[in-house]
Amino acid sequence: MPDSLPAFTPLETERFRLRPLRPADAAEMHRLVNDWEVAKTLARVPFPYPRDLADEWIASTAERIAAGEAYHLAIARREDDVLVGCAGLTLDREARTAELGYWVGRRHWGQGIAPEVAGRLARWALANLDLDRITASALTDNARSAAVLRRIGFRETGEGMQDFLSRGGAMPVRRFEAVRADLSPLAAAPAPAAPEVAAQGKPILLVAAVGLIDPEGRVLLARRPEGKPLAGLWEFPGGKVRPGETPEAALIRELREELGIDVAEACLAPFAFASHGYEAFHLLMPLYLCRRWEGQVTALEGQALAWVRPQRLGDYAMPPADKPLVALLRDFL
């Protein structure tokens, strides 16, 4: 997996901004969370909530973001930066999971804030933090929070007990989780060119991919950015083959558009192919190898890039269709 953590840039939704908390937020945060109707739903918040605890906790959030341990953020209105609540993720990097939590001040209830910001944060996390799963919980009597989680794509997985500081002990909770397919379902495939193919079952989607190999023998992987199906997974560069296009022509076009490099067809060597059935379509993906190109490899579509030693390709989370190709490429190189 990548050796460095991504720098955190505030996340925006249509109406709100998720940003790091500041010392100046302490007074308003204290006013909002020191409310029994809010605090009683939060596992790690005492009630009453001491004013000085707000200062201490805000100071700790910056340290945890810098360490990549947790992302506890202010929910602020975009128009005037007024704090309306908080949302956060606590990470378990070894297990590749994170726990999602959020709260909104009572004076701001009824505006649809929680699903808007919690969904945005969860999608960002799966696209950028090398996670496979996000978990969450809600008190069994907190129907509002459970409805928020279901609305943004979380699935209920069972019930359990969880300690609540505000209530002085363990309380029954519903447990939820979400993976990429829950928050960003695979887009439907375009209609196949040949009607007889569709008549046999799923449409076939042809995608061409390439293993770019640098002079040090490293292979380029690109990370699918937030907003695309399977966001956060690493893959070989490439893309869909358009009607009337050859796989080689599609790769030349995609590499120019996505990476800013020019590749000659003679430099694309067919290597292997993947065949994988997704729910909505069947993917057929030829993989080419390329060691020569013109220009500097540059991420032109906001995607993260990584030059990876063949022995480490298996450390990167990849779509199911790409995984069988990794072992073949590693043995070849």
Output the DSSP codes for 186-239.
PPPPPPPSSHHHHHTSSPEEEEEEEEEB-TTS-EEEEEPPTTSTTTT-EE-SEE
Q: Specify which residues 222 forms β-bridges with.
A: 235, 305
From CA 261, how far away is CA 244, in angstroms rounded?
A: 23
3-state secondary structure of 301: coil
* 84, two tokens: 């309306």
Sheet holding 219-223, edge to edge: 234-235, 219-223, 305-308
Q: Is the pTM of this model over 0.85?
A: no
Return the H-helix or E-strand segment holding 86.
strand 83-92
pLDDT reported for residue 177: 97
pLDDT reported for residue 321: 86
Query: How does pLDDT run across 119-135, given as a tens digit for each residue?
Result: 999 999 999 998 999 99
Residue 202 burial (CB count, 10 A) = 16
User: Rounded to whole angstroms, what are the CA distances from 175 to 138, 165, 186, 221, 326?
Assistant: 7, 18, 25, 34, 35
From CA 206, how far away is CA 242, in angstroms rounded?
A: 8
Q: Specify which residues 75 forms β-bridges with.
A: 18, 85
pLDDT reported for residue 183: 84
Structure-token match 């500081």, residue found:
165
Residues lower than pLDDT 70 in the chain: 1-7, 184-200
- Full set of structural domains in the chain with CATH: 11-183 (3.40.630.30), 195-332 (3.90.79.10)
pLDDT reported for residue 189: 39
